[in-house]
Structure 1
């Protein structure tokens, strides 16, 4: 990304050089990279954690380790996936990238490159929301907004694995069918149904115990009307363009709460490794799986980023290996 602006104008292919990885990073030859709405936010200049361009896009990637710092737990040749050093300008849409060592893992043999590349951000965020920040417990009702998208689809699967009854919210028949296909117990089409009314019907008047919100805006505001007493909201993102407008008086009178969720590595590397091992155990057991949607060619990255405002169901992935020398 050379400047802020529309993706077709802001993104350009450039030659760069990767040096030896510093402590805490490993250098990987990229096979595939996960994509998502944050790419569109970055190109528009709306991603608050980044500085000024130029920088490489792509928050997550999978590939083969080519270099490690002294004392690394990884070795050259390992097949790995993880979160890139995008905050330092090194994204996954490239022949090579740096992965954060604390947020990288050995890819299980049954995972494809595309599944591995699209796993880290969505599932680490879902874990932060549903385990660390707003824990959902067996038997509770979990409502997931944007459930056909990357973050939402991960939350649907993880919520099911944690024992919740999952209500998925999406727009249109194609996306609602996708949500049912990844295991949602109930699906609501927010374009055709009144969210609060359907929530009441599906929960027998109880309401939802946990609301997972990567969407914000009017859809999230409508969903809050169906939250249960002592319910909790996990504020994940703003795919609608704005965050959920919280009404503190309503929160007080109906006794519910909200927590911001910014998934980041735990300060203790051992604790962070345990998080990834728990997630990978769910993968090995078949409880969760990256719902790969559209796989894009490397040359189509600008068009892919532009389409993230209205993506197809599932996780968008960029196949990078085909451009390697």
Structure 2
């Protein structure tokens, strides 16, 4: 329902330019208890564009489960590390780095290269990292980058929602949804949160939702029609897919946009091209990979950092696990 943040306790030894420690690695596809093992590793000086951090916390999310099962489309065969995001202290940087040794940062790890954040040290992509704001806890920092950068890609870059428009967030009590809910409010949208229990709806209300809909007990189409006065929603943020997203599409406004974020249901939203034509709406895919223009990418992260400093967005921490509990 909320962010899961992996607590890392470090006891690593640094020797010269090499750093030694432990890392959780996927050695074979399967259930985490069988697929993931703890290994001793070394980390050398970071390559250009990356910084090496001593990890204090790392965010735990659904993509990690997909990775262990072999269902994550951007990774090949094992072995590789888990953990898309991590926070900690910079211990090594390349020449001309944005960061300095001793900086406290949170960012997206080099997990696509097989080096994730469930480790005592991790490489983070410099263009996808920020200095941790003063009021942000380690646990909040560890779960900040992926959810909010994805929400930014969806709601600012790919399917922009504007002040005064209506945003419908599916899976709004999950990490992706909760990030989008808050970012949508921060840019001035009216936010309708969709979730599956009273507890989750209360969670969404606490984090700023203007309206909540229980997809298990409500007639979703009728409720959205009531909320919007029959106008429909301008943007749908969809990390769920499947039947839930298909139902939400019935309520999309003319010239509306659906941002396809993920497939938590197990299947993407089924799209009907004739329906899209007749009702004049757009579907866009959203993958928050680094922007081709480093300045644009830095600007995105700076804006997110400023919103966090202002208290407009924050990581809703759910459960905190110890390093030995990764499986």
Using the size of structure 2 for normalisation, the TM-score is 0.91
Q: Could you report, residue by residue, the CA deviation over 1:252-296 in whole angstroms, capped at 9, with x for unpaired residues?
A: 111111000011111222221111111111111111111111111
TM-fit CA distance, 1:199:
0.7
Q: Which residue of 2 aligns with 1:145?
A: 170
Structure 1 runs (4+) greater than 2 angstroms displaced: none
Q: Which residue of 2 aligns with 1:310?
A: none
Spell out the pairing of 1:132-281 with structure 2 (5 A cutoff): 132-281=157-306
Query: Does residue 37 of structure 2 align to residue 9 of structure 1?
Result: no
Query: Does residue 53 of structure 2 align to residue 28 of structure 1?
Result: yes
TM-fit CA distance, 1:193:
0.7
TM-fit CA distance, 1:62:
0.2
TM-fit CA distance, 1:45:
0.7
TM-fit CA distance, 1:48:
0.6
Q: Which residue of 2 aligns with 1:315?
A: none
Query: Does residue 49 of structure 2 align to residue 57 of structure 1?
Result: no
Q: 1:114 aligned to 131, 139, 142, which one?
A: 139
Please provide the CA RMSD for this pair: 0.7
Which whole-Å CA distance do the structure 2 matches of 1:151 and 1:70 have between them? 34
Q: Which residue of 2 aligns with 1:300?
A: 325
SS of 2:149's partner is: helix
Give the gaps of 5 or more residues in structure 1: 303-325
Give the gaps of 5 or more residues in structure 2: 1-25
SS of 1:17's partner is: strand
SS of 2:39's partner is: coil
SS of 1:65's partner is: strand
Q: 1:79 aligned to 85, 100, 104, which one?
A: 104
SS of 1:13's partner is: strand
Q: Could you report, residue by residue, the CA deviation over 1:61-96 in whole angstroms, capped at 9, with x for unpaired residues?
A: 000001111111211111001000000011000000
Which whole-Å CA distance do the structure 1 matches of 2:240 and 2:247 have between them? 12
Which whole-Å CA distance do the structure 2 matches of 1:81 and 1:284 have between them? 14
TM-fit CA distance, 1:51:
1.1
SS of 2:40's partner is: coil
Flag the structure with higher strand content.
2
Using the size of structure 1 for normalisation, the TM-score is 0.92
Corresponding residue pairs, total: 302
Query: Does residue 113 of structure 2 align to residue 91 of structure 1?
Result: no
Q: 1:45 aligned to 65, 70, 73, which one?
A: 70
Which whole-Å CA distance do the structure 2 matches of 1:58 and 1:228 have between them? 37
Q: Which residue of 1 aligns with 2:312?
A: 287
